[in-house]
Amino acid sequence: MNKGSIRNIIIGAVFVIALGIVLLRGESFVELVETMSRGALIPLILAFVVQMGKYVAQGFAYSASFRTVEERLSPKLCFPLVFSAFFMNTVAPSLNTSGNLVFVDVARRRGIGGGKATAAVILMQTSIETGFMVIMIIGFIIIHINGSLTPFIFIVGLWVVVLVGIMGGSLVLARRSPQRLAGILRPLEQLANRFSKRFRKKSMKPWAIEAGEALCEAAGEIAKNPTWAVRVFLLSVLASLFELGCFIMVGIAFGVTDPAALLGGYVVAILFTMIAITPMGLGVVEAAIVVMLTSYGVPLGVATAISLVFRGIVFWGPFAVGIVVFQLSHRAAKAPQKLLTAGEAPAGEASAGEASLGEAPAGESAAEVVDKVEVDDKVELANEAEKFTDEDISDKEVP
C-alpha cells in the first residue's frame, strides 16, 4: 500500500468524521447514538447475510467469465479474490482496473494466457456496470413517479449509461475493425501524452494500437461462448440486487420503509461510489445517502445511521477482509520461490549432480542446470555399465 493511497483513505475517513461533527451537533449527535442503538437486530443480521450473497454471486460470475473464454477458475477460488480485488480498488483507485489485475495475476500463475484472462475480466467489468445500470434505470423510473428525480442525479446516471455504452461499444467495434478503434483511441493517446509531458515531464508509451488489438482478442474470445457471457451478466445483476437488499434491510432496521427513499438512497450510493475522487467514494457516499434520504423526509439522525451502518457493511467489512486475503495470497505467490531456494548448498560444496534449482550458476538458467545434471548422470551410468561389463568379461577369460 503506497503513501498516496493511505493518505486518500485517511482523508476520506476524516471527511466522514467532519460530516458527523458538522451535521450532528449537540442533540443531533445524541439522537444518532440513540437511533443506532435502537436499530432492529434481525434486519441488520439479514443485511449482512444478503450482502455476503453479493460476493458469492460475484465469485460465480468471475468463474463464469473464465468459462466464457474456455478456461477454469472455480467459484471457490474466485470468492476470496473478490475481497482482494476490493482492497486493491480501494488503495489504488483506477476504475476497478487494479482489482481486475488480481484475477489476471492468479489466472496467469495457473497457466491461463494473458489474452484470455484479460478478456474474462473485461467481460466481468462490463457486466458489473451493465447490471447496476439496469437497476438504476428501474430506480430512476420509480423515483420519477414519486417526483423526486433531480436533474443532478439524472445527469450522474447518464454518466453510467455512457460508460457502459463505451465499454460495450468498444468490444463490438474491436471485433469488427480494431484498426478503426485504434484510430478513435489515438487522439486520446495524444491528449494523455500531452498531460504526461506537462505534469510528469516524460512521454507515455504508445498504447492505442495495442489496446485495440487486446480488445479485439477479448471480443473474439467472448463471442465463442455467448451463453456463458449471458450467465455472467445475470449473475452481476443478481449481485447488485443482493446489495440493494442489504440497503433495504438496513433501512428497515431503522424504521424506513418508503420504497422510493430506499431505492433512491441505494442508487445514489453506488453512483457516487463510481464517480467520487476518494477511494470507493469514502466520505462522499455517506453524505450523498444522507442528503437523498432527508429529501424524502427521513430524520437526519436516522438517515446518518443508515448511511454509516450500510457503509460499514459494504465498505469497511470487505476492506478489512481484503487486507487479510491479499496478504495471504501474496505470501502464497512467494512460497514456490522459497521452496526453490531452500535446498541451496553452501558455496563450493555442491557438486554438479547436487546443484540447487533455486540458484543457477552464473550465466546459466535453472533449466540449463537441470539438463547438465541429467547429462552428467547419464555419462556416469554409462561409465559404470562399461566398467561392470569389462570386469564380467575378465572373470570369464580362460587362462
Report d(CA 125, CA 222) in Å as an integer.
13
Domain assignment of residue 286, yes or no? yes
Alpha-helix runs per DSSP H in the chain: 3-23, 27-37, 41-68, 75-91, 97-109, 114-145, 151-176, 178-195, 208-223, 226-253, 259-275, 284-294, 300-311, 317-342, 366-395
**Cell numbers given for 284:** 462522499
Question: What is the DSSP annotation of 361-378?
Answer: PTT--HHHHHHHHHHHHH
Q: Output the pLDDT for position 331.
A: 75
What is the separation, in whole angstroms, between the first and last Cα of the chain?
Answer: 84
Same domain, 270 and 391: no
Domain assignment of residue 169, yes or no? no
Same domain, 156 and 291: yes
Domain assignment of residue 342, yes or no? no
pLDDT tens digits for range 136-195 = 998 888 888 877 777 878 888 888 888 888 888 888 888 888 788 878 888 877 887 777
Question: What is the DSSP annotation of 250-293?
Answer: HHHHTT---HHHHHHHHHHHHHHHHH-SSGGGTTHHHHHHHHHH
Q: How many CA atoms lie within 13 A of 90 on its CB side?
A: 25
Q: Output the pLDDT for position 373.
A: 42
Same domain, 14 and 135: yes
Domain assignment of residue 295, yes or no? yes
- Whole-model pTM: value is 0.73
Same domain, 268 and 360: no
| Range 221-235 average pLDDT | 91
Report d(CA 235, CA 229) in Å as an integer.
10
Report d(CA 127, CA 163) in Å as an integer.
12
Q: Which of 33-47, 131-145, 370-384 has the lowest mean pLDDT?
A: 370-384
Same domain, 327 and 364: no
- Is 373 buried (19+), middle (13-18) or exposed (0-12) by CB count in 10 A? middle
Same domain, 267 and 238: yes
Among the listed residues 201, 224, 204, 57, the one whose alpha carbon sits nearest the alpha carbon of residue 131: 57
Residue 239 has pLDDT above 90, yes or no: yes
Q: Output the pLDDT for position 28.
A: 52
Same domain, 387 and 239: no
pLDDT tens digits for range 250-261 = 999 999 999 889
* Containing structural domain, residue 257: 3-160+219-334
Report d(CA 379, CA 398) in Å as an integer.
31
In the chain, how long is the greatest CA-to-CA distance? 119
Residue 353 has pLDDT above 60, yes or no: no
Residue 284 has pLDDT above 90, yes or no: no
CA–chain centroid gap for 150, Å, is 32
The number of distinct structural domains making up the chain is 2
Report d(CA 250, CA 198) in Å as an integer.
47
Q: Which helix (H) or strand (E) holds 289?
A: helix 284-294
Check: CB of residue 35 under 8 Å from CB of residue 302.
yes
Same domain, 315 and 361: no
| Range 87-109 average pLDDT | 83
